[in-house]
A and B are shown apart, each in its own frame.
Chain A
Amino acid sequence: MHRPCSIPSLTAIAAAVALVVSPLAHAASPAPTQKLEAKLDQMAQQLLEMRGELAQLKQENVQLKAQQQQQAQTSQQTAADQATLKSQVDATSQSVQTALAKPSPLDNLNIWGYGEMYYSRPTRQSENTRADLARGVFGIGYQFDDKTRFNSEFEIEHGVTSSSDPGEFEVEQFYVDHKFNDSLSGKAGLFLIPAGLINENHEPTNFYGVTRNFVETLIIPSTWREGGLSLSGDTKFGLGWSAGVTTGLDLSKWNFTPTSPLYTSALELQNNSVAPMQATHQEMALANAQKLSGFVSLNYRGVPGLTVGGSVFNGGTVKATPDMGSSQRVTLYEAHARYQPGPWDLSALYAHGSFSHTAEANASAAATAAANGQSLTNPMPASFYGWYLQAAYNAHVGGYRLAPFARYEKYNMAASYEGVGSGFSMPNGFAVPHDTVYTVGANFYLNQNVVFKVDYQRFKINRDFSRIDLGLGVTF
């Protein structure tokens, strides 16, 4: 390395200067000589000082060099550390990606389920108290690709299913869904009819009260599905629509001549398939599909928290008796609104259904009954309807959600009869097919998958149906 200056060479220069200057000093007079000596001393002193400063500079220089080296080493180390870290991160992300990319048929498989248990105690007829594992449902889905998906749900009702037990094993849904684009998709198979607020979202965490409301059980059948094809889509301003062609009802399943009451409690009213459409829908169990039905449903959700919609279902049916000449149709329409501002959840629904040519059906059934020594105890209604208003408040209490609610509902499973004498009335002991029900209760959400429920329902006419219910619902 080049030295900018060195102490020995400076000393040499200083000595040389002294040698050149000294003869001159001797030649001069004593007074100037003294002056010169003083000057020389001064210069020597200055030289010494310079030497000292130079030594200090040299030392600083060495220190600086050492520092520079150290810094270079540190930055090299940091770079090396970063490189190692980066390669480690790369390796990890690569192994994660490899693990993710590893093809497994299970990757496309989804399994889900839901279920509910009831404890239902009529306040005036406690002998009808029942505890029921109402339903256990398990779903299996398979994603074929980004656009095509298979969904199925299998349901076991009432705990045990056998020929001597009350349970049923049912296929609740079984369909293929294909997205044509972002706003249009199609379905083929057995799927839920988009009617009302509950039918398509019937998991126990999605409704208030232990059991589903009566309107969406007796007027709109509960978990109502048909086989067929449908198209559905949504628009940028929040209007969703769905339309399809499906199987329909078999009115020959209607029991015109029961000799004992078809139901004696609210739970039986819901479970025994006594309502007009509940008793006659076919659920694709070797469904008579000679006549087809169709539906259209619209829902506007363009304002956050608001759903306003309605649907119409209309179709030909298997006629009630083989003897009648006319063919029969069913029409069900409903309108609904749900508004959830903040913690509030307010909903209202109206549903109305009708069967055509029931005068002929009832006359034909009455004739057959008379020939067999029976009487028409349960004529087929020409129309039926129901509506409800419901309010719930979702309170968050220490990480849990508590939702007290109240509901006012009216159902009429036989709003009008045709072809029966005006003097017709239900036989003694048979419940009146219409009522007003007040319900108050609460859903307590342990988390968003588990709900405990309690409610009290008061029936205005069939007062023996009034009851206290407890429930547990699970969905995942």
Chain B
Amino acid sequence: MSKPEFVYVTYIATTPEKLWNALLDPQETEKYWQHENVSDWKPGSQWEHRAFDAARTLRLKGRVVESVPPRRLVLTWAYPDDASPEEKRSRVTFELEPAAGVVKLTVTHENFQPDSDMLDRIREGWPKVLSSLKSLLESGRPLPKLW
């Protein structure tokens, strides 16, 4: 069994439905991530992570491995030019567990390719994205622009 390289946890005072929506709805992700996640979110479908610039630059791509709204979303996570097979791509799991008025959001990221710089980039990225997401859902205000 593989061992995740990173596990991030944040507790957010919201509902699983609102949090799920905040992960996928471009109107929400624009506010705290400055990127949009585009897909029909069906298992097996492609998804894309695009910047909110004029060209809608493609930054990441992958497939929806599992989608159980509003509890669990598993995506493969690769650079646009990555031609390796799906099973070699890094994998992100979002788990949403309601607990006493808050939702525990666990993000695990695993299966990195040994020669990729993705590990270093997400190490900086996830804590920023998750604290900004928490701030947006709890106070209505995201953190100042992340990137």
Decide whether A and B are members of one complex: no
- Residues of B participating in the A interface, judged by any CB pair closer than 8 Å: none
- Residues of A participating in the B interface, judged by any CB pair closer than 8 Å: none
